[in-house]
Amino acid sequence: MILNLHSYASLKIAYSDWPGWVAWEIGIQKGWFEEEGVDVEFEWLEYVPSMDAFAAGKVDACCMTNVDALVTGATGKKGVGIIINDYSNGNDMVVALPGISSIRQLKGKKIGLETGFVGHLLLLQALEENGLTESDVELINYPTDQTPQALESGSVAAIVAWQPNSGQALKLVSGSKPIFTSSDAKGLIYDLLYVSSESLAKRRDDWIAVTKVWYKIVDYMKDLKNEAEMLEILSARVQINPEQYKEIIRGTYILSLDEAKKFFKKGPGFSSVYGSSQIGDNFNVKYGVYPKSEFSDKYLDPSLTNSLK
């Protein structure tokens, strides 16, 4: 816990095991939040429990994908995306058993995934691009961290998961391989920090300070001379080997400040977080994840990012 620097209580941020969010650990370890004069307490949770904590008001902010933030908003609590950490560039995968080399071969087969969340959307995109629909496959609901074991057991023909779970599945099942990844749909999955509207209104200056720390982290990560230390910090948080983490982080594209500003501009399609969120919203309604359109501009606030130079 970081020492209290204000009369306010600590800002509480839930983060989980995704490279673009594990990266917050750099700012924590380096003491950069204290340097910016902001009192932050990070809570390390599994992904879905982190969103549940946000919905229950137990934390002020949560690291979520843009599409999962809509699901959380429709079913629990709406958040405001203030920082685009990254987009998934291969770490989210459909991993299939040996002998299955295409999405089309999954017709009539069982697929393990955490229904209603971002992997579900990735699968729907993959099916649609290959002339199939959800009714052509059978979905089996598993927590994402249990999908590697599901594939290993042979109870499903494929799973949908993100790193490190997707990588674990590839190691557990000899001959398995990714047959569709987020690199096939860049911009489908953006990863952001979502803040409660109440906290953002009350503590805006503190959230600007958090945003400044984030881009200090990004600058540090993009400087090659820091690579060894960076990998030590990140891998220690998730308790794996630094060399293994080097492979994992490759499938996550961390955005520079200028890149984030570009993706925060309104526009259609995957090259804008607005367009991507609208596409995800349309998918969610079409496939009954929630009953009516959820996305609006209130889900995103680029002004904190845009205030930085």
**pLDDT tens for each residue of 198-226:** 999 999 999 999 999 999 999 999 999 99
Regarding whether 164 and 194 lie in a shared domain, the answer is: no
Regarding whether 27 and 130 lie in a shared domain, the answer is: no
Q: Over 80: is that where the pLDDT of 140 sits?
A: yes
What percent of the chain lies above the pLDDT cut of 90? 93
Q: How far apart are CA 199 and CA 193, in angstroms?
A: 13
Q: Tell me the mean pLDDT in the region 109-131.
A: 94
Q: Over 50: is that where the pLDDT of 3 sits?
A: no
pLDDT bucket at 8, cuts 50 / 70 / 90: confident
Q: Tell me the mean pLDDT in the region 156-182.
A: 97
Q: Tell me the mean pLDDT in the region 169-197.
A: 97
pLDDT bucket at 56, cuts 50 / 70 / 90: very high
SS3 294: coil
Regarding whether 228 and 83 lie in a shared domain, the answer is: yes
Regarding whether 262 and 218 lie in a shared domain, the answer is: yes
Is residue 4 included in any domain, yes or no?
no
Cis bond before residue 164 (omega within 30° of 0): yes
Q: How far apart are CA 124 and CA 130, in angstroms?
A: 10
In what order do the strands lie in the sheet containing 252-254?
Answer: 40-44, 11-15, 61-65, 190-195, 80-88, 252-254
Regarding whether 59 and 102 lie in a shared domain, the answer is: no
Tally of structural domains, the chain: 2
pLDDT at residue 124, as a whole number: 92
Q: Given 185, 201, 218, which residue is the final one in a domain?
A: 185
pLDDT at residue 5, as a whole number: 44
Q: How far apart are CA 55 and CA 234, in angstroms?
A: 27
Is residue 163 included in any domain, yes or no?
yes
Q: Given 165, 185, 205, which residue is the final one in a domain?
A: 185
What percent of the chain lies above the pLDDT cut of 70? 98
Regarding whether 61 and 141 lie in a shared domain, the answer is: no
Residue 102 neighbours by CB distance under 10 Å: 11
pLDDT at residue 80, as a whole number: 99
Residues in a beta bridge with 92: 162
Regarding whether 177 and 28 lie in a shared domain, the answer is: no
Is residue 1 included in any domain, yes or no?
no
**pLDDT tens for each residue of 226-260:** 999 999 999 999 999 999 999 999 999 999 999 99
Give the tokens for residue 126.
């993959």
Q: Over 60: is that where the pLDDT of 1 sits?
A: no
Regarding whether 239 and 224 lie in a shared domain, the answer is: yes
| Stated pTM of the model | 0.90
Residues in a beta bridge with 12: 41
Q: Over 50: is that where the pLDDT of 282 sits?
A: yes
Give the tokens for residue 183.
């690199």
Range list of β-strands (E), the chain: 11-15, 40-44, 61-65, 80-88, 92-96, 110-113, 138-141, 158-162, 177-181, 190-195, 252-254
Is residue 6 included in any domain, yes or no?
no
Q: Tell me the mean pLDDT in the region 62-71.
A: 97
Regarding whether 106 and 148 lie in a shared domain, the answer is: yes
How far is Cα of residue 241 from the mean position of the Cα atoms in its chain? 22
Q: Over 70: is that where the pLDDT of 98 sits?
A: yes
Is residue 298 included in any domain, yes or no?
yes
Is residue 3 included in any domain, yes or no?
no
pLDDT bucket at 283, cuts 50 / 70 / 90: confident
Q: Given 154, 185, 216, which residue is the final one in a domain?
A: 185
Is residue 74 included in any domain, yes or no?
yes
Is residue 265 included in any domain, yes or no?
yes
pLDDT bucket at 7, cuts 50 / 70 / 90: low
Q: Regarding predicted confidence, which is higher, 303 or 115?
A: 303
Query: Helices (DSSP H) in 115-203: which residue ranges?
Result: 118-129, 147-153, 165-172, 197-202
pLDDT at residue 287, as a whole number: 82
The residue segments making up the domain with residue 178 are 92-185
Average pLDDT over the chain reads 95
Regarding whether 122 and 58 lie in a shared domain, the answer is: no
pLDDT at residue 191, as a whole number: 98
Regarding whether 237 and 118 lie in a shared domain, the answer is: no
Q: What is the CATH number of the domain that holds 260?
A: 3.40.190.10
Regarding whether 290 and 237 lie in a shared domain, the answer is: yes
